Amino acid sequence: MKFNYLVVFAVGSLNFFSFQDAVADETTQSPKVSNEKKKHKFTNRLINEKSPYLLQHAHNPVDWYPWGEEAFEVAKKTQKPILLSVGYSTCHWCHVMERESFEDEEIAKIMNEHFICVKLDREERPDVDKIYMTAVQALVGSGGWPLNVFLTPDLKPFFGGTYFPPKAAPGRASWPDLCLNIAKVWKEKREGVIQDANNIADKLGEFANEGKGEGGVVGAEDFKKALVQLKSEYDSAYGGWGQSPKFPRPSQPIFLLQLGTRLQDQDAIDQVTYTCRKMANGGMYDQLGGGFCRYSVDEKWLVPHFEKMLYDNAQLVNLYLDAYLVSGEKFHANVVRDILRYILRDMTHPDGGFYSAEDADSEGKEGKFYCWTKEELEKILSDKEMGVVIKHYGITRSGNFEDHSDPDPIKDQNVLSVVDEDLNFQEILLLQTAKKKMSDVRDTRVRPGLDDKILTSWNGLMLGAIARASAVLGDDSYLEAAEKNLSFLRENMWDTENKRLYHRWRDGARDDAQIFDTHAYLLSGIVELYGVTLKTEYLEFAMQIADRMIDGFYDDKAGGFYQSTGAKDLIIRLKEDYDGAEPSGNSVAVLALLKLAAITGKESYREVADKSLSYFSGRMKSMALAVPYMLSAADFASREPNRVVIAGSASSPKAKELIRAVHSVYQPHKVILGTNGPIEEFAKSLADGDKENVEAFLCKGKHCELPTADSSKLQALLLKKE
């Protein structure tokens, strides 16, 4: 991509550096204490926003605008470029940059004089974030948060990067120098900059859609090739894929387990189950409170950035359920219970919505809530308890963690990770009492900040996961939480009259953004909930969401879904397919539509899914590592799914028993449906009118096995049919 003026300026003058060089990333940290000291001196427009991230910057001396028409109009009127800074409330390097630059009055003066400064919460507007992240990735080869992009007044990007320090270092531009040089280039060579920006905008869609729309079908050889690719980066020492930093990225092991099981590849299965054990024993997992942190900075899963995200934990529930069903090891089931204990205790609104995230630090120190010095533990534990804790968690006097981004870090901190699982019965009892004492002390500490906004998309992920867990683990409290969550979302996020689904809710207010992922993730969650309850109202709601999603975002000419409806504040529309920390909306939508088509018999859903799979087939054939969730959908589409039809009263104890039996078999290639509501016609014909006589039919196409009310026999039939 041609970038005449700014590349010369950046490389020749300031040594522009990449995301990896700066170590900027998706990690998290809450706002520093220094922010509190200045809040009465400065207040900007962000004070009127709902986003916790924007509110964190409301007392910066920077004259921030929220993303919107007011900022755009001022930029056009003054002909100043827009400085768009994107992040999220639990982003570690976002807050480092805030502390170093955005709270500095002299740096703020430079920003205010030369730019219209705009702050954006990427979790509220993922569609906007995606456009400018794609631009930066195209220009410098990588990206991350904080994302800082310079735009023309008509919103076209001409320069960007991630974290910039306040003072220049070898190979690194300083933020104030960068701003001054950008302003100089804008003043002296504006025509050329605008020309570059126009060129970038023109090429952006082409770059984002490279390799898409080629058409074709993903076949057996493609799946085998994908299996080889996915296994190729496996770390046999510590589990996981690739080196440090290590992200769980659940869509990859979930697909690897799915394909490995179908193709009887024991190495693939072992890779996943071993990785699950290593992750749950590592410091990335909260050994006392449950739940996973965002990622590990090392290859051993030992030291995390301590933020916890709802979307990670939702996906990991599904991964550990799969690992449990395949391996039969209760270890994996217990991890699921522990994750959900955390979610229901710390991340749930009283009315049922799930909060977004928890910060990495408290009292201005990363990990302070979670870590321990040996001296602290010696004060609260008996000698015998201390001995077991040292053995089990590897506690040392010098510790294993220090926050190198903090100019004054706490010393000798220990992240809890399991280094020795081989405990005898007496040691297990001592460990239990020790953990209780440690938890009680930890509960007196200042908790990390909570991002309490409720996102429909991430709630959809957790809705499906917790509904499924209720059936697999036989815990009705999970089902109660799932149904309460959907009730919250229907009441607060769904406009029944206008058939509109909203993205964010906080403090009684919702936004007006129309985001594709919101629809795709929620649709997936409702389909899962229907498969546990067989309630007609849930199936009908799923179809409403599916229809709205197709009407608003589907490209009926080429296939695939756009990330947004084409709002006027977007310079292009993109179709996302990368299954990264979150699966792409396209991947999730396709699989959900395939399942919905199998349940309802509505061919239009299948046609949309098939056309979308064809659109992304080139990616799946050549870049399996980028699209594992999409490959899961393609695998589901590759053959007729098993349909388990529960005939009779879905609310009866026998029906619940049969439903649980079906969910307790690892077989991703199935759907469960009742005989009432908008289901496919063949299933309706299986109802005999006697609701008390509950039986299960296992069907493929128009053929069904003889009905059975025996759970064990039904499970045996399912295993045989895969």
**703-704 vs 695-700, strand pairing mode:** antiparallel
Residues 169-201: tens digit of each pLDDT: 887 789 999 999 999 999 999 999 999 999 999
Residues 511-550: tens digit of each pLDDT: 999 999 999 999 999 999 999 999 999 999 999 999 999 9
What is the predicted pLDDT for the residue at 172? 78
What is the predicted pLDDT for the residue at 340? 98
Domain with CATH 3.40.30.10 in the chain: 4-208
Terminal C-alpha separation, the chain: 48
Query: Average pLDDT in the 679-688 region?
Result: 89
Closest to 421 measured CA to CA, from 385, 393, 396: 393
Q: How does DSSP assign 360-395, residue by residue?
A: SEETTEETTTT-B-HHHHHHHS-HHHHHHHHHHH--
Domain at 639-722: CATH code: 3.40.30
Q: What pTM was computed for the model?
A: 0.93
What is the predicted pLDDT for the residue at 37? 43
pLDDT(4) > 70: no
Query: Average pLDDT in the 316-321 region?
Result: 98
Query: Average pLDDT in the 308-328 region?
Result: 98
Average pLDDT of the chain is 91
For residue 689, count CB atoms less than 10 angstroms from its CB and return exposed for 0-12, middle for 13-18, buried for 19 or more.
Answer: exposed
What is the predicted pLDDT for the residue at 722? 63
Which CATH superfamily is 4-208 part of?
Answer: Glutaredoxin (3.40.30.10)
pLDDT(252) > 90: yes
- Residue 146 main-chain phi, psi, to 5 deg: -70, 145
- Which residue is associated with the tokens 């699966």? 583
Q: Which residues have C-beta within 8 Å of that of residue 557, sequence separation ≥ 6?
A: none
What is the predicted pLDDT for the residue at 721? 66
What is the predicted pLDDT for the residue at 585? 97
Distance between CA atoms of 586 and 521, rounded to whole angstroms?
A: 10
Query: Average pLDDT in the 161-173 region?
Result: 88
Residue 214: pLDDT band by 50, 70, 90 thresholds?
confident
What is the predicted pLDDT for the residue at 675? 94
